[in-house]
Amino acid sequence: MLEIRNLHARIASTGTEIIRGLNLTVKAGEVAAIMGPNGSGKSTLSYVLAGRDDYEVTEGDILYNGHSVLEMDPAERAAAGIFLAFQYPMEIPGVATMEFLKVALNAQRKARGEEPLKVPDFLKRVKEAAASLEMDIAMLKRPLNVGFSGGEKKRAEILQMKLLAPSLCVLDETDSGLDIDALKIVADGVNALRAPDRAFLVITHYQRLLEHIVPDTVHVLYRGQVIKSGDKTLAHELEANGYAGIIEEAA
């Protein structure tokens, strides 16, 4: 589903290269964990996948279902089924969460040649998804993320994911800001979406989340490259020994 080949990407404004020859393959149905110390380029990778325009790809390619996404803008990538749950979800004053969800969902439906959802149908879906995440529906009348706690913001991201039902789900540090109960609810929400035609990139720098979302593969990102890949035991090894050994080995 996803094949990243020798990807090099830099920050457009400064020219600083952050992703430096990254290779990664994720199959349909797979949950891939991306781990790595702070500053290794995990969020940058997620932005480059989503097509954020502050970043420039200078070399390599990102293939999604066999086709390069580099020429696609973020909306086209979203309509094609790529979803990013942000590490730091943005506050959007003046836009009610519910309205945001409706516009996002219908924009994707339109891009796929589908009719907009009828309001009762939309409301039913939102209510079901919110209930499964134990979110109070009253919260959805408030402007998106404005005044939400860290945990509420993360739940709102997962709510969006549930509604949009993407094919490639990129979750950037979704565990940060969640207490243990919220973590379980969010992890259950992710696990319920696991499917043979859907893949996840679960970015985290703690093993904790991976107790609840058990990955098929684990990849260690360091200085913009994948320096080691393995199965879920690699996450346990990192938890026990830290990154130093793997970094030294790679060097």
Q: Give the residues lining the site for ligand ADP (CB under 6 A).
A: 11, 14, 16, 18, 36, 38-44
**Measured from the CB of residue 160, what is the shortest distance to ligand ADP in angstroms?**
20
The entry of Mg ion, ligand ADP, none that residue 38 binds, CB within 5 to 8 Å by partner kind:
ligand ADP
Is residue 30 a contact partner of residue 231, using CB atoms and an 8 Å limit? no
Stretch that binds Mg ion, among 21-29, 81-89, 118-126, 127-135 (CB under 5 A): 81-89
Are the CB atoms for 189 and 18 separated by under 8 Å?
A: no
Percent helix, strand, coil in the chain, to 5, is: 40, 30, 30
CB 182 within 8 A of CB 155: yes
Nearer to Mg ion, 18 or 199 (CB): 18
Q: Is the Cβ–Cβ distance between 129 and 162 less than 8 Å? A: yes
52 or 142, CB closer to ligand ADP? 52
Least distance between Mg ion and beta carbon 125 (Å)? 30
Nearer to Mg ion, 43 or 174 (CB): 43
Specify whether the CB–CB gap between 141 and 96 falls below 8 A. yes
Shortest Å distance, C-beta 156 to ligand ADP: 20
- On whether the CB atoms of residues 74 and 47 are closer than 8 A, the answer is no
CB of 163 to Mg ion, least distance (A): 24
Task: Give the residues lining the site for Mg ion (CB under 5 A).
Answer: 42-43, 87
